[in-house]
Amino acid sequence: MSGMYDVSVTVNGERHQRTVEPRLLLSDFLRHDLGLTGTHVGCEHGVCGACTVLFDGEPVRSCILLAVQADGHAVTTVEGLAPGPEQLHPLQEAFWECHGLQCGFCTPGFLMTLVPFLEENPDPSELEIRQALSGNLCRCTGYQHIVDSVLLAAAKGKEAK
């Protein structure tokens, strides 16, 4: 049995303090300890990308990060994307409009990968989009509608400016 560690993690702007075993994965911490089940776990060894969250603003795979490593850091999950309960994030809206999801299991990971991508690269080419989402697996859409969604979100973002 290993010791327990106090961690203080800011998730979607709210600070949470818990006592955890060091072997607790960040993905399980978010889902089980905080009840934030929007972060999905697929492969649990860093291949499928479903568990992607933002760690200090950068997308990372929460299934290959320990909860103790998040102590003192800021995490954003898919629950933190929409501006309010009645609204969607512009990228979520584009996914909805372009049919960028079918079963939806992989969607939180795609969103958390692509939101910072669009912030850094607001006018991406299709190739850049395909490379950006290469670390996320989707078994329904064949990716085409996901690429369309990102292109739409980028176009709308340009219009808004």
Partner 1 sequence: MKPAPFEYQAPDSLDAALEVLARHGGDAKVLAGGQSLIPVLNFRLAQPALLVDLNKLAELSFIRRGEDGGLRIGAMTRHRSLERDPLVREAAPLLAETVPWIAHPQIRNRGTAGGSLAHADPAAELPAIAVALRARFLLRKAGGERWVTAADFFQGLFTTALEPEELLVEIALPPRPERTGWSFQEIARRHGDYATVGVAAQVTLEEDGRDDGRCREARLVYLSVGQTPVEARAAAALLAGTDLGPEAIRAAAETASRDEMDPTGDVHATPEFKRHLARVLTGRALRSAAERARAGRS
- Give, for 75, the enclosing helix (H) or strand (E): strand 74-76
Amino acid of residue 71: D
For partner 1, which residue of 107, 113, 141, 149 counts as binding (CB under 8 A)? 113
Question: Token digits for 4?
Answer: 């327990």
Q: Compare residues 95 and 117 and give the one whose CB is closer to partner 1.
A: 117
For partner 1, which residue of 8, 125, 134, 144 counts as binding (CB under 8 A)? 134
- Per rule CB under 8 A, is residue 66 in the interface with partner 1? yes
Q: Compare residues 92 and 113 and give the one whose CB is closer to partner 1.
A: 113
- Per rule CB under 8 A, is residue 94 in the interface with partner 1? no
For partner 1, which residue of 9, 11, 24, 150 counts as binding (CB under 8 A)? 24
**Shortest distance, position 159 Cβ to partner 1, whole Å:** 26
Residue 61 phi/psi, 5-degree rounding, is -95, 115
Q: Compare residues 12 and 136 and give the one whose CB is closer to partner 1.
A: 136
Spatial contact of 128 and 89, defined as CB atoms under 8 Å apart: no
Q: Which stretch binds partner 1 (CB under 8 A): 50-58, 86-94, 141-149, 150-158?
A: 50-58
Question: Token digits for 89?
Answer: 């994030």
- Per rule CB under 8 A, is residue 154 in the interface with partner 1? no
Taking the alpha carbons of 48, 77, 54, 87 in that order, is the dihedral positive or negative?
A: positive
Spatial contact of 39 and 53, defined as CB atoms under 8 Å apart: yes
- Per rule CB under 8 A, is residue 92 in the interface with partner 1? no
**The residue to which tokens 């991406």 are assigned:** 124
* Short-list 80, 35, 88, 33, CA closest to 55: 80
Contact residues for partner 1 (CB under 8 A)? Answer: 1-3, 5, 21-25, 28, 44-46, 49, 52, 55, 58-61, 63-66, 68-69, 113, 117, 130-132, 134-135
